[in-house]
Amino acid sequence: MSRPSIVVKISGKLVEDTGSLQGLVGVLRELINEYRVAIVVGGGRLARKYVSFLGSLQAPKSLMDIAGIEASRFYARVLALALGSTAPVPRSYEEFLTQLATGVNPIVAGGFQPGQSTTAVAALIAEAMRAERLVIATVVDGVFDRDPAKHPDAKLFPRLSITEALRVIESSTEPGRYELLEPYAASILQRSGTRVYIVNGRHPERVLEAARGGEPIGTLLTPD
**Cβ-count burial of 103 within 10 angstroms (0-12 exposed, 13-18 middle, 19+ buried)?**
exposed
Question: Rounded distance, CA 36 to CA 44, Å?
Answer: 25
Residue 8: strand pairing partners: 39, 135
* CA dihedral of residues 85, 9, 17, 165 (deg, nearest 10): 180
What homologous superfamily does CATH list for 5-222? Acetylglutamate kinase-like (3.40.1160.10)
How far are the Cα atoms of 31, 210, 211 from residue 4, in angstroms, in the given order?
11, 14, 11
pLDDT tops 80 at residue 181? yes
Q: How far is CA 49 from the centre of its chain?
A: 19
pLDDT band at 178 (very low <50, low <70, confident <90, very high): very low
101-124 pLDDT tens trace: 999 999 999 889 998 899 999 999
Q: Where are the domains of the chain?
A: 5-222
17-74 pLDDT tens trace: 999 999 999 999 999 999 999 999 999 999 999 999 999 999 999 999 999 999 999 9
pLDDT band at 14 (very low <50, low <70, confident <90, very high): very high
pTM for the model: 0.94
69-111 pLDDT tens trace: 999 999 999 999 999 999 999 999 999 999 999 999 999 998 8
151-172 pLDDT tens trace: 889 999 999 999 999 888 775 4
What's the length of the chain? 224
Q: Spell out the long-range contacts of 22-28 with Cβ–Cβ below 8 A and sequence spacing 24 or more.
A: 23/204, 24/137, 24/201, 24/204, 24/207, 25/79, 25/82, 25/83, 26/204, 27/204, 27/205, 27/207, 27/208, 27/211, 28/83
Q: What is the pLDDT of residue 4?
A: 96
